Chains A and B, each alone.
Chain A
Amino acid sequence: MNRVYLHSGQNEKSLVKVILGLLLPFMLYGFYKNGIHLYRKDLVSMVMMFKPLYLVLISIIISIIFSLIKKKGFFSYILLINILISLVVMPNINLLVYVTSLIILNIIFCFLKINIVPVFMIIVFVYELITKHYTFLNTLELSVEHKYSILDYLIGQGPGGISNTLWLFSLLSLVVLCFKYSYKKHIPISGIITFYILLIIYSIITRHVNLDLYMNNNFLFASVFIAPLLMFSPYTKGGCYLYGIILGILSFICIFLDLNIGIYFVIFILSLLHKLFDKIFIITRK
């Protein structure tokens, strides 16, 4: 029998609920941007207008199945990870590929605790490269030449995953989450600061400000929601700072290879090494 008689009330459910609450506006805006708006422009059918919601729904159904298999409650980390996947995928994702990949990765996750969000993105990225469909732009963005102002980026009109383009809300979410005891705030803070410092230096050297780099939705969303996922990140303060700084540096380097997918490669590699970051600081403190 468990001998904990007084508890703070913090549990997996409460931690997941807070983050899911913050993800809700992203889902709704994704539905507007990549569903309603495209339907109004006659770029998608009535059925496909709901694609952003289908993705969320599919992820919820798969989560329920795997939660039942693992005998976990509905609000578990499985749900959070699957919902995150449904928000960050490319707007042109093939539904069959989405479902298949999601099921396979959930099976893998049952046996191997790896961050399946970036793994999913890498798999889809490879698939889209092979089928020559790789893009983070939706049908409308592909059909017209687009140039966005800072305001457009802030209110979520910039390119990115299917439901993660609310740049300003990503930032607001970071502020809210910083007040949560369980949130590893040192990771996104140090990561974002490092990334922007390097970007500013780069802009000064090249004397050119590229808004696509500064207002990168994938980087900000992934830094706030995916990089600090509890299970795949260090838990010591020093480890979190180091993880964040390396995340910022590598993300900066990766934007020159690919503006959008780079961050997921970086998070995947760093999440595999997260125990190492803790080890460094535990040994140092001895």
Chain B
Amino acid sequence: MRKLTKLKTNIDIVYNSNIVEYLDADYLYIPMKKNYKTLVKTNEYVYKGTILLEDNLNKIVSPISGKIIGMTTLNVDGRPGNAIVIENDFKEEEKKNRKYKDNKYDRDFIISRLYEYYFKYVASTLETKKINNLVISGFDDEPYIQNNAYVLKKYHREILEMADILASSFEIKNTSIVIKSNNTDNIETFLSKIGTYPNISLRLIEDKYLLATPFFLLEYLDLKDIDSFVIDAKTMYELYNAIKYNKFTYETFITIAGPSLVKSMVLKVKVGTLMKDIINNKFKINNKGNNLFILDGLMTGSPCQIEKTMVTKNTIGLIVIPDEEIKENSCINCGMCYKICPVRVNPKKVMDTGVRSSNCINCGLCSYICPSHINLRAFLEGNHE
């Protein structure tokens, strides 16, 4: 088994104990996607759930009801892109109210429901693979990002129920909830609740980087990819809403944290909310100097302008740190980047030759360990200045 690294995270961050909701932004921004057909026009009124964009397989719906006021250019998952702007009327009007029915959760029903709600990956995996081990991960890889841990804590009943439904519908032999051993809150919660579900077990793992990546987690748990499936707590909660309540998830969970904030939080926000709106409405910045906003974590994220960055389904959070310039020194040939790489890429060779490696998983460990502070990740991505 490969040796994984425990990251040194020595900044003390105070988190709000519960998930904070911010669901009433004035404007929402829905990113335009390549090859998607736009189904709405400027000044058109849209209901919550109205299809805004679609291609052959996917549809993107409006998370709020309101008026389309035009288009703007924003940062979409780290890259510039166009977005549809919707002015919120705060009525949350839905065109078609789906009625909740107590369904019989059999295999075919679940798969069709998952396809209907665009959980294509989960649906196709459950459809094509004989799953013997279902692993629910209740943690995130990125330091200071706490989405899954908080979702697991708040929605443990829903997640356990969903796990039980999947286990019985797909005849899954082993279902386990995986929690980091330093997350005492969740351990206590699950130890008291899990007894109701004898087919679900609790597994504790070390606090090591990359264990939230299914490949590394399965290897760590000594499970085979061929009959195992890893789902994070956040997705389990969304599956629960789709399958049990026939409900589309318009919200997502993000962590906004950092030493520059008075209090850090895990938030439930609508997809399409502008980061600036969240920061202005929910946070107090205590650092008087310049701050740097890192989208999607310190290890793999990139700096962003909060005025131009919105929350998408893929957003995991924003880390706010003081903007301090660190000087890059010349390589001292220590080889630590090569030694730490979990997929045995040779970052020094990439830096020396410029030939990129296709095996790189962009985990950022090489940059993290480098004693010369060289941004090796940028070399591996091919965009070092």
Contact = CB atoms under 8 A, between A and B. Distances in A.
B39 interface: no
B328 A181 contact: no
Contacts of A10: 336, 369-371
B302 A3 contact: yes
B204 interface: no
B99 interface: no
A9 B334 CA distance: 15
Contact of A181 (B326, B336, B375): B336
Interface in A175-194: 181-182, 184
Nearest to B321: A5
Task: State the majority secondary structure of interface residues on A.
Answer: loop
Contacts, number: 88
A184 B335 contact: yes
Contact of B373 (A2, A15, A184, A274): A2
Given A9-B8, A282-B346, A15 B371 contact: yes
Contact of A230 (B303, B321, B333, B377): B333
B294 interface: yes
A235 B334 contact: yes
Contacts of A4: 326, 364, 367-368, 370, 373, 375, 377
Contacts of B333: 230-233, 235, 274
Interface residues of B, number: 39
Contacts of A14: 371
Interface in B304-344: 319, 321, 325-329, 332-336, 338-339
A181 B340 CA distance: 10
A182 B334 contact: yes
B40 interface: no
Contacts of A141: none
A94 interface: no
A234 B327 CA distance: 25
A100 interface: no
Interface in A4-47: 4-12, 14-15
B154 interface: no
B349 A282 contact: yes
Contact of A235 (B348, B371, B377, B378): B348
Contacts of B372: 11-12
B358 interface: no
A77 B9 CA distance: 27
Contacts of B339: 181, 235, 237
Contacts of A11: 371-373
Contacts of B338: 235-236
A233 B335 CA distance: 10
B165 interface: no
A263 to B, nearest CB: 21
Contacts of A233: 333
Contact of B294 (A5, A182, A235): A5
B369 A235 contact: no
A1 interface: yes
B9 to A, nearest CB: 7
A7 B368 CA distance: 5
Contacts of B336: 10, 181-182
Interface of A: 1-12, 14-15, 77, 181-182, 184, 230-237, 274, 282
